[in-house]
Amino acid sequence: MTVLNDLAERLQIGFTRKIPLFYQSEAAECGLACVGMVAEYWGHKLNLTRLRSEMSVSLNGSTLNDLMKMAHKLDLSSRPLRVDIEALKTITTPCILHWDLNHFVVLVKVSRNRFYIHDPSVGRRRLALDEFSRHFTGVVLEITPLDSMRSVADDIHKPTLKDIFGRPQGLAGSLGKIVVLALVYEICVLGASFLPQIAIDQVVPSQDQHLLYLVIAGFGLLLLIRVGANYLRAWTVMAVSASFNLQWRARVFRHMMHLPIPFFEKRNLGDIASRFDSLDVIESAITKQIVEALFDGMLALGALAMLFVYDEKIAAVAMASMSTYLLLRQFLLARALYRQPKILVLDEATSHLDPDSERNINRMISGQSVTRIIVAHRPSTIESADRIIDIAALNHACRDTTHGEKMNDECVEHQLVERQ
């Protein structure tokens, strides 16, 4: 039952009011994000953009007094307290905690010596008593609504897909070509699967060499068409990716030139540059990963349709087996995370997920005190690692470098790389 409660908490399932999670986009706005989470819980409809425009935060961050002033502007009553950990169960939640002497987080609830918090820098966290006590400074800001509180509606313009992407030139035509080439590739793959059946059912019993030659020629022709279609598709995707990336970067640069000076004063150069670097990840997801996912989905649906044509029972068994496998995989991952292990080994555990879902799971796991050993091929997963070991195409065994031993010359290109 505890497992189900924890899963419901992470998925925000239930009938009670849920506490939202705001992620800070500036290093000094953790306090602002915490006030926004508590304010939305009590009925306000806000986002960080609205709060940032009305309540400025200095480069040095916010003090407890600043948070109280923010709450007062939202018709919320605040009460600063200094309490022991045992007394947190009596505090009205959600409340704001002072964290690590330089940070603020929101306490969601306390249950069975487990502390559930919303950290604006890393997300949802569940901490044991000993770990919680290492971070909590003893300062609490209890926030409750005033009788005169009026809900504030979110009137900030929310960007649409048109605002974000604009109208990329040549995108529609290129995507049409990619879809046509993908269909040609799928037809060749599915068509080639009929040739072994013809060879076994007709060529072998009749010993018809002319039909055998025809099957071999058909297989070779389909192979050439498939290779050509795949090459053209890859080339088209690369061209679309380069064109889309260039147009999008120019659009983002024009937008940044119209931003106010305080936007740049509160961010360092690395933060500004990272916004351009993030375009590569988004662009890759749109022009490569989504296209490949659609392509693989079309191929899987075609294969499933063929199974239904041959035998509906076999197709049903295949679908049930795949569904059971995916559900069991997710359950085992959730079960391992709930036990809070010191070391967690993930062998392609999130490879079947889309990049956004995988990023959310990695962000959730990174908020826990656990050492992760990940076996993965996806670049976005590898980039999040602190140490990378490339074991591909190893011809010689590399010695353990745990105790400072040096690898032999044959394994130099596969040595342990520490991220700077």
Question: Which of the residues 30, 34, 95, 411 is marked catalytic?
Answer: 30
Q: Are 26 and 82 in contact (CB under 8 A)?
A: no
Between CA 283 and CA 280 the distance in angstroms is 5
CA distance 253 to 340: 43
| Residue 30 annotated to the active site | yes
33 exposure class (CB count in 10 Å sphere: 0-12, 13-18, 19+):
buried
Cβ atoms 195, 204 nearer than 8 A: no
User: What is the distance between the alpha carbons of residues 153 and 105, in angstroms, rounded to a whole number?
Assistant: 24
Cβ atoms of 103 and 125 closer than 8 Å: no
Q: Which are the catalytic amino acids? A: 30
